[in-house]
Structure 1
C-alpha cells in the first residue's frame, strides 16, 4: 500500500498535514490536522511527519475503540481534555475539575487549535520552534534563538556542540546519562521493505573497513602513509556522523551534506573538497561492490566547490610566492650560500631554480634517472615511478626534463659519478623515506632556516623550496614560452597542444623531442647570464662532499 503524503512544502518551511478519518471527525472537531514543522530540510521534515503520523494513527485507534465503550466521554477527556459535547470548543482545554485553562503564558506566540490538540494527545514536537540548545554529559548547556536561516542555526548548534566537547571533563565530574529530545532517525522510521533489488546490505562501518583494505593497495609505498591515514580519518568521521550501523544503500545526499557542512565549521574549504572527493570515491566503490544502487546519483557530489575567485584568494593566502631577482642574488651569493649546510641542501635549491621541479620529486631521483636519454642522447632528469619509494603528484608528472648546461658546468654529473663510486643509488642519499611529510621534509627545514637567516620573507603566502617552482615558471612566462611547453617542462597538467607559434624559430615539431624542449625552455633559465649564479664560485660549494647522512635528518618526523 502506498504511503500517504504527509508533507506540504510552504515558503516558510515544511508542514505536516493529515486527513482525519470520517468516523472520527466529530470527536476531533476537524477534517484536517496541520502542524508547521519549522524546518526547510526535507529529511528532517519527513522524519517528523512520519513520527507524527504514526502517533496520530495510534490516537485514532484509541478514540475509535473508546467510541464503542460506555465511558466514551472519559476516554475522550483523557485524550483531548474534552467531552463529546464540548469538543466544538477546540482551542480550550477543560481539565477534569471543570475549570478553564489556556496554554501556558510562557509561549511567545498564539497556539493554534491543532497544536493544542497535539499537546493534549502528547504529540508535541519535543522542542520550542524558536529555540535551540545543546548539552553535554556533564550537564553543561548552550542555547540560543532560532533565526530565519535554518542552515545558519544548524551551524551554530554544531559549533556549540564542538565547543562543549573541547572543554573536557570538569574536575572531579562524573558523566551523567542525559536524555535529549532529538529528531527521529529517518532510517529507523522508513518502512522495512528490504533493500533494492540486487543490493547487498552492508553497514557503513563494515563497508568503510572493506574500502580501506582496497585503497591500501593504492597507498602501499612506505612514504604514502599520510595519505592513507587522511582517508581513514575522513571515512571514520563520516561513519560517526551518519551512524556506523546505517546501511550504505539508505544514505542520501542530505546525510552527506550534513557531514560536509559540519566539517566546514572547522576545516578549510580546500580540505573539505579533498574529503568530499574521498567520500565520492567511497560511494563509487560501493556501487561496484553492489552496496549502493547504481541508478542513484553519487550522494557525495556537489556539496562544496571552489570558484576561480576562491582559488585565487586561497593561492594568495596559502600558496608559495616566487623569489624576485634581488632575493635570488642574495640566496645564491657564495658568501651567503656557505651558510646553507650540506651540499645536498645546496643542490636541492639549485636544481629547483633550473628545473622548477617539486622538492619531493628531486629527493626521489635515483642515479639511473640522471644522464643522457637513451634515444636522443640529451642529458635529462627522468622523473618516473620506477623505484620502491617513487610517487608523483599527478598523471602528467612523469616526464624527462633536459638538464640545463649551467647544471653540467656546476658539476652535477661529477656528483653522480662520485655517488656511484661510493656505492649509492640515490641522487640525495640519507634522507628519511618514512618521514611523515616525505623525504623532502629535512631539506625543506634546512632551506627555510637559511632563508630566514637572510631575512627573506614573503609578502603574502609562503616561501620555501617550492617557491623555486613558481620562480622558474614565472621566468618562462616572462619570456613568452608557450603554455604547452611550460607544462611539459615542469610537469603540469596539459591544458593545450603545442603550436608552431610557440617555437622561437617557427618550425613545427611533428615528434616532440627533448632537444626542442631544451631549445625553447633553457634560454629563459640562464640564471648565470642574469647574474644570479656564479658558476666558478659556486662549483666548489656544490662538490665539497656527498652528504650521504646529514645531521638535519636526526629530527625528521618518522612514521611509527
Structure 2
C-alpha cells in the first residue's frame, strides 16, 4: 500500500529496463479495500505484462505477442491490452479517434494543433518543417500504435544522406528519393549532423507528447542520434583580428561607389545604411542578427538616463513582427561609445524625423517576415568580397567576439549573461533568475564601457571624420 491505496508492483526484467526506462512499474488499484484490490489485481498484472512485452516487440526483441494481441478465438480476448485499454475505473474521456486507429500523420497534426503548446511563430514553423519531413519518410498512414524503433532508424538513415536545401534543389523528388540520390552519387554537400539531430529531437518531442497522450507506450526514437564530430565550441569561431580589419577596412567603410551594388568597389560614397550599421552593432553589442534587423526606431531610447537598445518582442510603435529566441533574450543593451562616435544617434534621429517605424526599413522581411534571412545572404557575399570569409565564421561570429571582449574586460559572469541574453548551460534559466528586478542599467553601462575592442581601429568611421 501507499497511503490508503493498494498498488501492484512489478520489477521490470533486465532486458526490458532500458526500453521502459525504469526498474519497477507501479499500478494503482484505486481502492483501499483488500477484497476489491484482489479482484482488480489480475487486470493490472495483465496490463503491466502487456506493456513489458510490447516494449520488447517495438525493440525487435523476442516476445510473446499473445500477451498484448490475443487471437480472435481466445476466450479471454476481451481482457485489456495496450492498444485497447480497459481501465479498472472508467474515467470520462472524449477523444474523437481511438489510438488504435489514429495514423502517424493525423497524430502529428494533433500535436501541432494542441492549444496547450505555447510556441512562437518561428518555433511553430520549425516544427511544421520537421513534421513534413518525418511524415514524408515514415508515412502519413502508418498506424500510430505500430510505430517502432525500425521506423525511427529508417528515418535517421534518410537524414544521414539528406542533401542541403533538398526541397529547393530537388523539388520533384521526395526526401527519401533525394537522400537515395545523394547516397548513390557519393554527394558530400549534406545537412550537418547538428541539423539532422535537430530533426531527430523535434520528432522525439512529438513522440514524448504521444506517450503522454497515451497514443504510444514508449518513445521509440529515445536515445537515438547521429554522432557529431564537430565539438560544440568549434561550430562557430569568432572573427580573427585580420578578418575584423578586412571587414571594417572594406570599401563599404572606406569609400565605395554606392551603398547598393557598388558597395564592394572603391569610390567616394560613404553610405550610412543598414549594411554599414548592422555589422558595427553586431560587434559592439553581441546582438543576434535578427535582433538587430528587427529593431524599431523606438527601441533606441533613454533608460535611467542611459541611451540603450531595448531588445524586446513588444513594440511601442505598433510593430508586431518581432521575435526573440528565448525569454533571456529580452534585455537592455547600453550603447557603446564607439557606436555613438560613429554617429549612430544621428542616424536614429534621421529615421525618426523621416517617420520610419523600423530602424532598418530597407531590409527585406521576405515572405516569412524574418529580416535576418536576406541580410545574412548579403553578409556572406560581403565577407567574400572583402577577403574576410573563412570556414565556420559568419555574422554570428560577432557574438563570439563580444563574449571574448566581456572575458577580457573581466566582466562579472551574471552581467555578461544578462548583456548577451544567454541562458545557463542547461538551456534554462536558474530559479534564482526569477527573483529581484535584474541588474541596474548603470551596472550594465559600466560593463559595456569597459570593452575596448583593441583588435580593430574604426577611428576612420567617426562622425566628425566624414
TM bracket, shorter-chain basis: 0.5 to 0.7
Cα deviation digits, residues 269-304 of structure 1 (max 9, x gap): 212321222122212333454433xxx443332111
Q: Shift of the alpha carbon at 1:476?
A: 2.0
- Aligned equivalents of 2:399 and 2:207: distance in 1? 36
- Aligned equivalents of 2:465 and 2:116: distance in 1? 45
Distance 1:220 1:537, change over 3 A: closer
Match of 1:332 in 2: 248
Cα deviation digits, residues 437-459 of structure 1 (max 9, x gap): 9312333333333322222232x
Q: Select the residue among 201, 207, 219 that pairs with 1:277.
A: 201
Match of 2:5 in 1: none
1:381 aligns to what SS in structure 2?
strand
Spell out the pairing of 1:148-547 with structure 2 (5 A cutoff): 194-197=83-86, 200-201=98-99, 202-214=102-114, 221=121, 227-240=126-139, 244-246=141-143, 248-266=144-162, 267-292=191-216, 296-304=217-225, 310-312=229-231, 316=234, 319-333=235-249, 337=253, 338-339=255-256, 341=263, 342=271, 343-373=273-303, 376-386=304-314, 387-435=319-367, 438-458=370-390, 461-495=391-425, 512-524=439-451, 526-527=452-453, 532-534=457-459, 537=462
Further displaced range: 386-395 or 250-259: 250-259
Q: Which runs of 5+ in 1 are unaligned?
A: 1-8, 10-39, 52-190, 498-508, 542-560
1:212 aligns to what SS in structure 2?
helix
2:333 aligns to what SS in structure 1?
strand
Q: Shift of the alpha carbon at 1:225?
A: 7.8
Match of 1:54 in 2: none
Distance 1:356 1:237, change over 3 A: same
Cα deviation digits, residues 289-336 of structure 1 (max 9, x gap): 4433xxx443332111667xx451x653xx333222233233223755
- Aligned equivalents of 1:42 and 1:349: distance in 2? 51
Match of 1:108 in 2: none
- Aligned equivalents of 2:438 and 2:198: distance in 1? 37
- Aligned equivalents of 2:330 and 2:376: distance in 1? 22
2:291 aligns to what SS in structure 1?
helix
- Aligned equivalents of 1:539 and 1:215: distance in 2? 55
Normalised TM-score (structure 2):
0.61
Normalised TM-score (structure 1):
0.52
- Aligned equivalents of 1:445 and 1:50: distance in 2? 55
Distance 1:42 1:281, change over 3 A: closer
Distance 1:352 1:329, change over 3 A: same
Q: Shift of the alpha carbon at 1:404?
A: 0.9
Question: How many residues were matched structurally?
Answer: 336
Q: Shift of the alpha carbon at 1:491?
A: 1.4
- Aligned equivalents of 1:443 and 1:490: distance in 2? 21
- Aligned equivalents of 1:487 and 1:43: distance in 2? 43
Distance 1:488 1:535, change over 3 A: farther
Q: Shift of the alpha carbon at 1:46?
A: 5.0
Q: Shift of the alpha carbon at 1:205?
A: 2.0
- Aligned equivalents of 2:328 and 2:160: distance in 1? 31
Aligned CA-pair RMSD:
3.9
Q: Shift of the alpha carbon at 1:355?
A: 0.4
Distance 1:321 1:531, change over 3 A: closer
Distance 1:384 1:411, change over 3 A: same
Distance 1:451 1:204, change over 3 A: closer
Distance 1:206 1:395, change over 3 A: same
2:328 aligns to what SS in structure 1?
coil
Match of 2:19 in 1: none
- Aligned equivalents of 1:236 and 1:46: distance in 2? 28
Residues 276 and 301 in structure 1, CA contact (< 8 A), matched pair in contact too: no
1:440 aligns to what SS in structure 2?
helix
1:379 aligns to what SS in structure 2?
strand
- Aligned equivalents of 1:534 and 1:193: distance in 2? 71
Residues 246 and 388 in structure 2, CA contact (< 8 A), matched pair in contact too: no
Q: Which has the larger radius of gyration?
A: 1
